[in-house]
Structure 1
């Protein structure tokens, strides 16, 4: 029997467990930015790190103490060590030094780990759990006990795994969190085991899942449905191996689908922004396929799908994308139909209708360019610029008078770009070096243009892809270059095609600048 829970406490471990993900290395400033973002988002707990593991975390706890935040900061660490008094354990002292209102104490609940990994007796392990929790409570801390490898332990020795929770509960733990540390538990096992725990242990239950079988989100949602009141995870699922449970998807499911309140300030509409902001800080790609918040989550390409969404959005969308701060996208392609092209045209000239000659002309242009190798799916910004050009709705922001790229055979800097351009009759000549010709071109172009358009300093390339279109022509093959650009808030894609990779990159780069400057006009 499941127990209905009307409030879920969200426990974020992006800064600790998430930092163990491949390719992630937060600076102190990165961690402070993430804390502030999570706090404004309304998560309940922010696990800030393990103060006993490295000097960076100790410095972070000193700095974060100066921040005015409502979320509870949590320091993470182990139970006392085998044979050491709790008040003398260096790890415990580090947890107290962090001076957070709450601590997360992890301990063993799988008998295999007790006997084979930390090599002590089962009774001593239970004493380690009880001593540590009791001591931390005596120091005025809110205590979250993380029962490490709980589900594997339960399946191997049910009685002992539950006894580990009872030891924490007896000592006064505020939460006992069941950890699927190896990430191998299935949703139906989660349901059965949590129901058993709830009937036998008198403590608030939480869940901490890893994604090794792709079940972390499902397991977390099932746990909440059964009666777990604390859900642990990371933003975007960052974490070791296959990652942790993705809190972004979990919050979307709990708030939107299950009607369970997760966020203090009802900020579900910030879901997409939080996901993108943390990805940006972590220097990780924001995956288009992320549920709720990805660029493809509400993207439609097939003509019938687009027509259906235009008539009634629920025909092909499970929710209104605005609920989670995302937006609907119609992908530009020859299979999209005239309605998609019309919607892009109407952004520029609203009075144009579906049966107008301009709409048909743009369909013909699209088909011709796709035949030549262009692809505007994900590069709708380039297509919008084509529409402006065809309809005579363009503005010449700048004129390139001369442009050259020089590549070196060797050296620290492998390329140089020189550019001469004109804006409103005023010329600017500049040069830049870069780690390759595209990087040098990008830097030189923006260096020259920021003299006239200082807002360009805020944009940067976030992705660069090259696709060889006809490999049978070897070095004479045509290439398609797709560039993704961001100003820190919005992201847009542009495309260029040529037999010369420099020229294709240049076309996409110019489009990215032009599109941004048109956006700035609209914003003003």
Structure 2
């Protein structure tokens, strides 16, 4: 797998709008689209223009922004939706059709032959109306569909010679990494078209499944900022970036503007009214925060000992927690140096023990630790 040969399709403005707390205004959509473009995602997927008059206007406006990222819209595979989508001027249209027996029986009510008939009509229509439009066709609920049905659908549509990319969707988040790898590999062996993977996170496997899809030959991965989306959401952008960074940080740093990652997440978190989780990948407050004494000692000697990701590449900094019983003398010495306090090793050891003892008895703050260091330094200076 080469990091230069895959693309991110960020769906914050489509899947993310299905998040329970999301209600983006037109201004929000434009600002988020620009921020995604600044980060460098290859594609931005926006809500279907058929959803509402405002969604249609926003889709058209985003398509006219002249962004480097290609703009896609996501529609049901039917002719009326296609007619509206073509008129928006987007770079690509993502079509989908449920293929599992559950969706065929309780959703749209169509058989596999009917799905193929409708899909052929819609795909042909879009291509005739707008030959330059990039088309993707995805099965929905792929992992609860029969493999024979999936291959029949993919191969029949592939024979049209129109589709650029096929999608595989773990719509309810039940797939395992091995299942994802196997299905992507089978499709890769059956077609030379690009393959997109859409992973829901209901069982916490979205990042692992997305990475497994890439290993098997997928070319496009769907993400959202903070992983927001229907129910538990989909593959979080920062999580995918973290996974890929550890493989080839230099290539990833050239491919995306990593310093924009925090700003992008702060923007979306603000617009959906949720805090960024402290332990969120890369941009969470705790991501580069070290606490245990053995960790801080090693980090101060060589940051790679306990950091697989370099915060500098993202415009971030690491920090050391000192106001607790797990703190170590190396961290205390580092803080003393930052404060300009010249203390020898025995003095540092004594102060460290004092902080540990106090932390057992009361809640300490970082400011309190600084006060202890400074007052101890003054007292030692006077006594000397």
TM-score normalised by structure 1 residue count: 0.65
Change in 2 beyond 3 A, CA 1:248/1:123:
same
Q: Which residue of 2 aligns with 1:144?
A: 136
Change in 2 beyond 3 A, CA 1:269/1:125:
same
- The 1-side partners of 2:253 and 2:55 are apart by 26
Unaligned runs of 5+ in 1: 81-85, 394-524
- The 2-side partners of 1:388 and 1:70 are apart by 51
Match of 1:338 among 325, 329, 334: 329
Change in 2 beyond 3 A, CA 1:108/1:314:
same
- Pairs within 5 Å for 1:411-490: none
Change in 2 beyond 3 A, CA 1:339/1:64:
same
Q: Are the aligned partners of 2:326 and 2:356 in contact in 1 as well (CA < 8 Å)?
A: no
DSSP-derived class of the 2:285 partner = coil
Match of 2:194 among 195, 200, 204: 204
State the 1:238 CA deviation.
0.8
DSSP-derived class of the 1:147 partner = strand
Q: Which residue of 1 aligns with 2:381?
A: none
State the 1:340 CA deviation.
1.9
- Pairs within 5 Å for 1:40-79: 40-79=38-77
Q: Which residue of 2 aligns with 1:501?
A: none
- The 2-side partners of 1:119 and 1:239 are apart by 25
Match of 2:120 among 121, 127, 130: 130
User: Which has more radius of gyration?
Assistant: 1
Q: Which residue of 2 aligns with 1:173?
A: 163
Q: Are the aligned partners of 1:6 and 1:261 in contact in 2 as well (CA < 8 Å)?
A: yes
Figure out how many residues of one structure are paired with residues of the other and give that number: 374
- The 1-side partners of 2:213 and 2:279 are apart by 24
State the 1:36 CA deviation.
0.7
Change in 2 beyond 3 A, CA 1:251/1:389:
same
Q: Which residue of 2 aligns with 1:162?
A: 151
State the 1:385 CA deviation.
6.4
DSSP-derived class of the 2:12 partner = coil
Indicate yes or no: 2:2 matched with 1:13. Answer: no
Q: Are the aligned partners of 2:99 and 2:150 in contact in 1 as well (CA < 8 Å)?
A: yes
DSSP-derived class of the 1:198 partner = helix
Change in 2 beyond 3 A, CA 1:335/1:239:
same
Q: Are the aligned partners of 1:111 and 1:122 in contact in 2 as well (CA < 8 Å)?
A: no
Q: Are the aligned partners of 1:270 and 1:324 in contact in 2 as well (CA < 8 Å)?
A: yes
DSSP-derived class of the 1:13 partner = strand
Match of 2:21 among 15, 23, 31: 23
Q: Which residue of 2 aligns with 1:432?
A: none
- The 1-side partners of 2:188 and 2:250 are apart by 19
Match of 2:363 among 374, 383, 388: 374
Instruction: Please say which of residues 281-290 and 338-347 is displaced more in the overlay.
Output: 338-347
State the 1:374 CA deviation.
2.0
- The 1-side partners of 2:63 and 2:172 are apart by 33
Q: Are the aligned partners of 2:92 and 2:135 in contact in 1 as well (CA < 8 Å)?
A: yes
- The 1-side partners of 2:354 and 2:152 are apart by 71
Unaligned runs of 5+ in 2: 379-384
TM-score normalised by structure 2 residue count: 0.87
State the 1:285 CA deviation.
1.2
Match of 1:254 among 244, 248, 267: 244
DSSP-derived class of the 1:281 partner = helix
Change in 2 beyond 3 A, CA 1:207/1:65:
closer
Change in 2 beyond 3 A, CA 1:385/1:312:
closer
Which structure's relative contact order is higher, taking Cα pairs within 8 Å and 6+ residues apart? 2
- The 1-side partners of 2:373 and 2:296 are apart by 23
- The 1-side partners of 2:169 and 2:287 are apart by 29
Q: Are the aligned partners of 2:182 and 2:216 in contact in 1 as well (CA < 8 Å)?
A: no
- Pairs within 5 Å for 1:229-248: 229-248=219-238
